[in-house]
Amino acid sequence: MKHISSMESALICRFGSWVLVFASIMAVHSQMDSCGADLGSFLPAPFNTSCLACKPIWKTFILRYYQSHDNTVSIVLSSIYTSGWVGIGFSPDGMMVGSSAMVGWIDTSGRSFIKQYDLQGRSSSDVIVDEGKLMLTSVSPKVVLYGVNIYLMFQVRFSKQVESQEVILAYANESPNHLQLTKHDDKISVSFDFSSGGSTVPTSPSSYPYQLKRNHGALAIFSWGILLPIGAIIARYFRHKDPLWFYLHVAIQFLGYLVGIAAVLAGISLYNKLNSDFRSHKSLGIFILVLASLQVIAFFVRPDKESKLRMYWNWFHNWLGRLALFLAAINITLGLKIGDAGSSWKLVYGIILAIILSIFSVLETMLWTNWSKKPVSPPSI
């Protein structure tokens, strides 16, 4: 009998593993939901599912729906499910805050839950269970796990026929804790037409209000993260280039101030558009703009160099500017956090901030080193 070499054995084992993996993938794929599936043959739905229209909407999410003459929409939302929760929200403007959502999940003991949530804010305490603006019918909502798919089934009655409706889809891999939702792992907002089944994604980077949010962030970073810190660095470390440092400092700071005003105006417009509750970010931004405006006013009323008041003016001007830049860095970071900025935005601003701080550290060290060689006191910070 011919013996099998160790290399042949390894190849056979590897081939067998590939076959098992492929078979597992095919098994899972065969259980995935599709619009061709007959829900009536396996799903104990609380209403008739034979007349539901069907639309694959996002990732493995499939939306089935039917709108009756009395403005009642029957909905079955399905998705591949392993753990956590799956939800669909109805929003007036495509944003999470201000929407009402139906969320379903299966706990570790196999119990099924489907609840309505009122999304009043972004924190967990602002997501209120068993509240919301959705008018559910007398048909009890239901959630079923069949194979690898979870099915959320419910009916909503609207005041009039629903055509284009902003819908939010989301899921999390971590289950709710005592009915309190965990943070979603991913979400999307789509504009779904319940009359025709068409859908568009209004949350693309080129759409409003998301373009306005991007503009607000870009203007704020460019003004308070780049221009104004550079102008401050020139004023402190390049005074030996007189009068060039002065003209550069004034030009850059005025430009940064104007761009900062544009950032604040875009932020206020975004705040009003989204009806958001980010009062700390808004209030801090307005306060920083006030500080910057005081700097501009101070420039026009600065006393002569020979005046006794010039020392106090310098102290006011220097420390007010440092305070504004410090608060601006905090507010930009806060804005990136609450605005759900992508990792690329955070990385870019992190690099900008690191470069600015590195330049400051090197130039400050050189300045103090040079002053230490002179028979006078070093400059105060």
Binding residue positions for heme b: 216, 249, 281, 317
Cβ atoms within 10 Å of 163's Cβ, excluding its own = 12
> Rounded to an integer, what distance in angstroms lies between the CA atom of residue 336 and that of residue 195?
37
Maximum CA extent, the chain:
108
CA dist., res. 291 & res. 327, Å (int):
10
In the annotated binding site, the residues are 216, 249, 281, 317
Distance between CA 172 and CA 87 in Å, rounded?
9
Nearest Cα residue to 104 out of 62, 141, 155: 141
Q: Does 243 sit behind a cis peptide bond, omega within 30 degrees of 0 on the bond before it?
A: yes
